[in-house]
Structure 1
Amino acid sequence: MTTSEKAPENYEDLIRLIHDRYDQMSKTYQRISVYLTQNPNDVAIRPISTIAASCNIHASSFVRFAQWLGYTGFKDLQTLFQKRLSTAAPGFDARKRALEDELQLLEDHSELGFLRDLVVRDIASLQGLLDKISAADMVNATELIERADTVYLIGQLRSEPVVNLLRYILTMLGKRCVLLDESGGLATHVARTMRPTDVLMAVTFRFYANEVVNIAEEAEQSGVPIIAISDTTLSPLMKSARILFAVPEHEYTFSRSLAAPMCLAQALMVAVAARLQHNSVDPRIPTVTGQ
């Protein structure tokens, strides 16, 4: 974008522009975009030097990025985030700090301390999930799964536990499903048997599994509806997915938890169970021992 073009005047238009131009960006601008979209509250209140340090990117790159979008400087772009914050729900960091204060947690690097830290983060992440997930997307995803002839599932690396949970519940509900397992090297070939009357549920987080992304892109070209769970709307699954559930990961560390995406996956399955059982009051998910 040149400076002669009009820059977005509100936060929603800015994010839409970032999505539209993401593939054309340099690697540095893509990293900046991911940070801006995943940490809007931090962008609103922190100085540019602190924001830049968080990304390990020089502050001048943020200024050039803002100018590339049509702003005179980074402060003009930051103003949109500040306006958004005035009406936004508390962010992840605010929730985390409040929970820490409530539990009176101190610096604790013991085994129990690690557990407490994870629990605090997970509670904040789960609360944030309610703010991020669209009610319409939940309804549409549930309808797609219910109507599908076969539900295909793919998730690799950290995402594998999520799709295994989905396979277990769908199987116990009597819903035909196929796990596209990478073992044997046949996942891509099995995926090519999918039809538009099926649905693909794809799960991947940064750093995104190439085979998951490639299968989703090929499925979309074949007219197969895709329900995706990822960590950001800038995920490579965004282009292929009919519905994308973005579950932000605020810290790319060893201790990243799957609590939020697992909760989302189970909520979808409970909604599917309610439809299949015609029981919206008390849907049941059968278990192996229960049978």
Structure 2
Amino acid sequence: MTTTRQPLGGNSVHSGLNGTVESESTPSSQKPPDTFEALHQSILMRQARLPKRLAAVAKYIIDTPDAVALGSVASVAAQSRVAPSTLVRFAQLLGYEGFSQLQDVVREGVRGRYAKRLGRSIRESDTRIGHPENDLLNRTALAVHLSIETVCESIDRAAMIKAAELVKTARCVFIHASAEMRPLAEFFRNCLASVKIRSILFVGSDIDFLKLISGDDLLVVAEHSKMKETPVTASSLLDRAVPFIVFTDTEVSLSKSRAAASLKVVETSEAGLLRVAAGTAILETIALYSLDF
């Protein structure tokens, strides 16, 4: 049995099965995960208990494994907004000797998931449009294609059907989005209007509109990974029996565990531009699915 106590420093300490005491911010004596899937699960199990900076590293690895695989220690640290030494500490927490050893596991996982499909897509695009490395339109089209293909393979279809059922039966669909997610939210509202489903869109941090929602309505939250937290109070919605759906680009979401349905879509990006190809495909599918219920 595992017990937990709070040390003077504020980090949770766990007594393991072998009687040893390990903190969530000190190196682990256990064998490190040797596959990307095992690493992924290990991070998710620990993420909620990690100190702030280590949690930032965990979130970046979970959300952008391709960037971790291809990046340097300096670039990963910069994107995670932590010091390089924090990456080493995080890797040691999971049992690795250093961050490069963790990075090797991520690289193998990314290579296995994408190399075959990427190679096929590049060969196809190379045949169609000359030299992709010199053709921005071709490179962009390839990235969009990969986004849609990836979401088709990874999306939780049961959650998507559940979302469509909730959309269809709601008196009104309230859509709340951050500024970054507004393009997707606007598109979803237009899709719902096309299939004669009433919806109202709210953008920004003002959540006074929550007072208007009843148990017969549905709330759809478009959550961006850069948001510090979702401004919707999940507990208050649950107390009033208001169902809500979370549409997010991160697996490390504070609200997804309480949502009636949660859909995660990660887009490829370039030069800081937010692509919406996969997101629009999923939202249009939900609107069309609702016609069948």
Determine if the TM-score, normalized by the shorter chain, exceeds 0.5. Answer: yes
For residues 41-89 of structure 1, the C-alpha deviation after alignment (integer angstroms, 9 at most, x for no partner) is: 5656x5xxx4423324565433310222344444664565467458635
Q: 1:70 to 1:223 in 2, by over 3 A?
A: farther
Among candidates 152, 170, 173, match of residue 151 of structure 1: 173
Q: Which runs of 5 or more residues in structure 1 are unaligned?
A: 276-291
Q: Please give the secondary structure, in 1, of the residue aligned with 2:197.
A: coil
Partner of 1:198: 217
Among candidates 59, 83, 86, match of residue 61 of structure 1: 86
Partner of 2:143: 121
Shift of 1:143: 1.8
Shift of 1:232: 1.5
CA contact (8 A) 1:92 1:128 kept: no
Partner of 2:73: 52
1:170 equivalent to 2:195? Answer no
- Letter paired with 2:284: Q
Q: What is the rounded CA distance, in whole Å, between the counterparts of 1:132 and 1:36 in structure 2?
A: 17
CA contact (8 A) 2:77 2:84 kept: no
Partner of 2:156: 134
Among candidates 39, 44, 54, match of residue 19 of structure 1: 44
Q: Which runs of 5 or more residues in structure 2 are unaligned?
A: 1-23
- Cα RMSD of the aligned pairs, angstroms, is 3.5
Among candidates 178, 182, 185, match of residue 160 of structure 1: 182
Partner of 2:4: none
Q: What is the rounded CA distance, in whole Å, between the counterparts of 1:100 and 1:31 in structure 2?
A: 36
Partner of 2:266: 248
Q: What is the rounded CA distance, in whole Å, between the counterparts of 2:133 and 2:35 in structure 1?
A: 40
Shift of 1:98: 4.9
CA contact (8 A) 1:150 1:178 kept: yes
The percentage of aligned residue pairs carrying the same residue is 23
Q: 1:156 to 1:84 in 2, by over 3 A?
A: closer
Q: Which moved more, 1:65-74 or 1:139-148?
A: 65-74
Q: What is the rounded CA distance, in whole Å, between the counterparts of 2:211 and 2:30 in structure 1?
A: 43
Shift of 1:191: 1.4
1:189 equivalent to 2:181? Answer no
Q: 1:55 to 1:10 in 2, by over 3 A?
A: closer
Among candidates 206, 209, 214, match of residue 231 of structure 2: 214
Q: What is the rounded CA distance, in whole Å, between the counterparts of 1:194 and 1:20 in structure 2?
A: 34
Q: What is the rounded CA distance, in whole Å, between the counterparts of 2:276 and 2:179 in structure 1?
A: 12
Q: Please give the secondary structure, in 2, of the residue aligned with 1:232.
A: coil
For residues 178-233 of structure 1, the C-alpha deviation after alignment (integer angstroms, 9 at most, x for no partner) is: 32355xx8x522212323343211113232286xx112534355442221222111
CA contact (8 A) 2:182 2:203 kept: no
CA contact (8 A) 1:203 1:228 kept: yes
Q: 1:198 to 1:14 in 2, by over 3 A?
A: farther
Higher strand share: 2
Q: 1:270 to 1:216 in 2, by over 3 A?
A: farther
Q: Report the TM-score, using the length of structure 1 for normalisation.
A: 0.72
Q: 1:165 to 1:42 in 2, by over 3 A?
A: closer
Q: 1:224 to 1:90 in 2, by over 3 A?
A: farther
Q: Please give the secondary structure, in 1, of the residue aligned with 2:269.
A: coil
Q: Report the TM-score, using the length of structure 2 for normalisation.
A: 0.71
Among candidates 99, 104, 109, match of residue 130 of structure 2: 104
Q: 1:235 to 1:104 in 2, by over 3 A?
A: farther
- Letter paired with 1:272: S
Q: What is the rounded CA distance, in whole Å, between the counterparts of 1:215 and 1:28 in structure 2?
A: 24
Q: 1:202 to 1:95 in 2, by over 3 A?
A: farther
Q: How many positions carry a matched residue from both structures?
A: 262
Q: Please give the secondary structure, in 2, of the residue aligned with 1:215.
A: coil
Q: Which moved more, 1:25-34 or 1:257-266?
A: 25-34
Q: Please give the secondary structure, in 1, of the residue aligned with 2:164.
A: helix
Q: What is the rounded CA distance, in whole Å, between the counterparts of 1:86 and 1:120 in structure 2?
A: 18
CA contact (8 A) 1:154 1:201 kept: yes
For residues 120-175 of structure 1, the C-alpha deviation after alignment (integer angstroms, 9 at most, x for no partner) is: 22111111111220221222212222232322111131312222222223233232
